[in-house]
Amino acid sequence: MTETGESSIEGGCACKAVRYRMHAPALIVHCCHCTWCQRETGASFALNAMIEAERVVLLEGQPEVINTPSDSGAGQRVTRCPKCKIALWSNYGDGDLVRFVRVGTLDEPGRFPPDVHIFTESKQPWVVIPSGQRAVARFYKRDEVWPKSSIERLSAYKAKRLASA
Q: How many Å apart are CA 95 and CA 159, to the nearest integer?
A: 15
Minimum CB distance to Zn ion, residue 66 (Å): 14
Q: Which stretch binds Zn ion (CB under 5 A): 31-39, 94-102, 103-111, 151-159?
A: 31-39
**Comparing C-alpha atoms, which of 79, 97, 73 is closest to residue 11?**
79
Taking CB under 5 A as the criterion, the residue among 83, 111, 158, 161 binding Zn ion is 83
- Mark 103-142 with x for binding to Zn ion (rule: CB under 5 A) and - for no binding: ----------------------------------------
58 binds Zn ion (CB under 5 A): no
For 73, list phi and psi in degrees, rounded to 5: 95, -15
Q: Which is nearer to Zn ion, 120 or 150 (CB)?
A: 120
| Interface size with Zn ion, residues (CB under 5 A) | 9
Q: How many Å apart are CA 100 and CA 106, to the nearest integer?
A: 12
Q: Which stretch binds Zn ion (CB under 5 A): 74-82, 90-98, 106-114, 148-156?
A: 74-82
Q: Which is nearer to Zn ion, 60 or 152 (CB)?
A: 60
